[in-house]
Amino acid sequence: MTTRLQMSPDLMRELAREVTEILIERSERLPASAVWDGEFQQGASSPLAKEPPEDGGSPAAAIQEAVRDVLSPALRLDHPRCFGFVPSAPTWPGVLADYLVTGFNVNTATWLTAGGSSQLEAVVIDWFRNWFGYPETAGGVLTSGGSAAALNALVAAREAAGHPERATVYMSDQSHSAQVRAARIIGIRPEHLRILPTGADFRMDPDTLATAVAADRAAGCSPIAVCADAASTSTGAIDPLPAIADYCETEGIWLHVDAAHGGALAILPEGAQLLEGVARADSIGIDPHKWLFQPYEVGCLLVKDAPTLSRAFGIHHDILQDSVWGARHPNGADHGLQLSRRDRALKIWLSIRTFGMAALRAAVAQGIDLSNRAADWVASSPTLELLTPASAGIVCFRVNPSGAELDEAELQRINKNVLARVFWDGHAFISSTSLHDTFALRMCVINHTTTWDDVHATLENITRFGMEAAATPHPG
């Protein structure tokens, strides 16, 4: 008996060549393409809503259909004028590394199943450890992203605290929802999750934290973790890590720093200064698929004391009993929630081996430079209002023509109108956020292919859309 799931080498080669050409052509055309090729579900659903076919068909035709109906209707997060959410612009060696890993179908669950990849993960994690100034006793695990890193961190924190009853977790109102979700997953009830208000600088206030912890302790609750932001996703604000670390050390509370976005700053001397104190955290999350130019998915959780992870996640299992083979070999599955795990280290390694750290630093520095220039341009514009200073590549602003004396409701109407026009226009993409209830436009400028012309043209368009929206009377 034979099955029919294999292909001739010639057909494999021909299809791979076609995929490669599609990707290279896409890359070449990207600056001239629409950034967002969105569609309402009603328009998109019909061509795809089909039963699985009983018999096969042309793979080349299916690839074309996938490109047209599946992959194209999307936000092009790697477009040089994609400034929404957190852009992700992978390098070609990163893409090829993932292609290799997929073709080898690596499973880094244990050393036994993937010794080379397990070793490489340790090497790459050691690079991160050094960038953050962590001691040699630190360790970590590569994850699907920041959400899994935050989850693993809070599990480790809870287990390190002995899993007390009425456990409470602290974060600011600027913290990412991934941390809220992680707290919910590990069983922190809404009434034990403390969302601390921030002030005008959108940073966690250590006094507010201390007051909340003291009140909880007095009420019989057990604080198990503080989640600080470096940087927060809305504004790029970096929490006062030294003061928070002082406090957490005194009180014996696990400090997790969410550096999913801002962790890339650690590779720059001036960025490392902004992250001062991060090495005092018990854990740090960072996403190489954000500002370290890797394709989805790769996050990293570092913990200051490596064994806290295996104490939290290591579980004996009969069918994995052979994985103990080789004393003290690192088994990835003992360090987080996943058992079967892709190799996520190779893309980081191959990118850095190909381009070198100097090029990576220049690319991160460019994001900082462009966002600074964007903030300066906004600050000097008579039509736009800078709402937060550029930080970690992020700028928040809004349309607010000087002298127009518009009220908040009207400003929100105008800026939502501008955002919708940016969406449908397709030339650039930005997203919005809410800054203590103020509706804000938000640009995140961290793509290594972005130029000042891209940023400038986007700001010009927003200015024009804003003037037009302001000149259009409210329909109500």
Contacts with its own copies in 211-240 (CB under 8 A)? 233-234
User: Is 245 or 283 the residue whose CB approaches its own copies more closely?
Assistant: 283
Q: Verify binding: residue 70, its own copies, rule CB under 8 A.
A: yes
The three-class DSSP label of residue 176 is: coil
Smallest distance, its own copies to C-beta of residue 332, A: 12
Which residue among 29, 32, 55, 136 contacts its own copies (CB under 8 A)?
Answer: 55
Q: Are 306 and 136 in contact (CB under 8 A)?
A: no
Smallest distance, its own copies to C-beta of residue 209, A: 20
CA distance 7 to 5: 7
Strands (E), 191-262: 193-196, 222-229, 254-258
Burial label, 305 (beta-carbon count in 10 A; 0-12, 13-18, 19+): middle
Q: Verify binding: residue 52, its own copies, rule CB under 8 A.
A: yes
Q: Which stretch binds its own copies (CB under 8 A): 237-245, 291-299, 300-308, 453-461?
A: 291-299
Q: Which stretch binds its own copies (CB under 8 A): 56-64, 220-228, 245-253, 300-308?
A: 56-64
CA distance 387 to 425: 24
CA distance 433 to 439: 6
Which residue among 237, 245, 281, 419 contacts its own copies (CB under 8 A)?
Answer: 419
Smallest distance, its own copies to C-beta of residue 335, A: 11
The three-class DSSP label of residue 276 is: coil
Cβ count near 360 (within 10 Å): 20
Q: Which stretch binds its own copies (CB under 8 A): 88-96, 214-222, 245-253, 270-278?
A: 88-96
In the stretch 336-365, what mask flags binding to its own copies with x, by CB under 8 A? -xxxxxxx--x--xxxxxxxxxxxx-xx--
Q: Verify binding: residue 471, its own copies, rule CB under 8 A.
A: no
User: Is 78 or 282 the residue whose CB approaches its own copies more closely?
Assistant: 78
Q: Are 442 and 419 in contact (CB under 8 A)?
A: no
The three-class DSSP label of residue 295 is: coil
Q: Which stretch binds its own copies (CB under 8 A): 118-126, 223-231, 241-249, 466-474?
A: 118-126
Which residue among 316, 407, 471, 475 contacts its own copies (CB under 8 A)?
Answer: 316
Distances (CA, A) of 370 to 278, 395, 456: 25, 10, 10
Give all strands of the β-sheet with 384-391 in edge-to-edge order: 384-391, 394-399, 438-444, 431-435
Which residue among 33, 99, 201, 243 contacts its own copies (CB under 8 A)?
Answer: 99
Spell out the residues 6+ positions from residue 458 whose beta carbon is closer than 8 angstroms to its own: 81, 83, 427, 428, 430, 443
Q: Verify binding: residue 1, its own copies, rule CB under 8 A.
A: yes
Q: Verify binding: residue 311, its own copies, rule CB under 8 A.
A: no
User: Is 112 or 467 the residue whose CB approaches its own copies more closely?
Assistant: 112
User: Is 220 or 473 the residue whose CB approaches its own copies more closely?
Assistant: 220
User: Is 19 or 272 the residue whose CB approaches its own copies more closely?
Assistant: 19
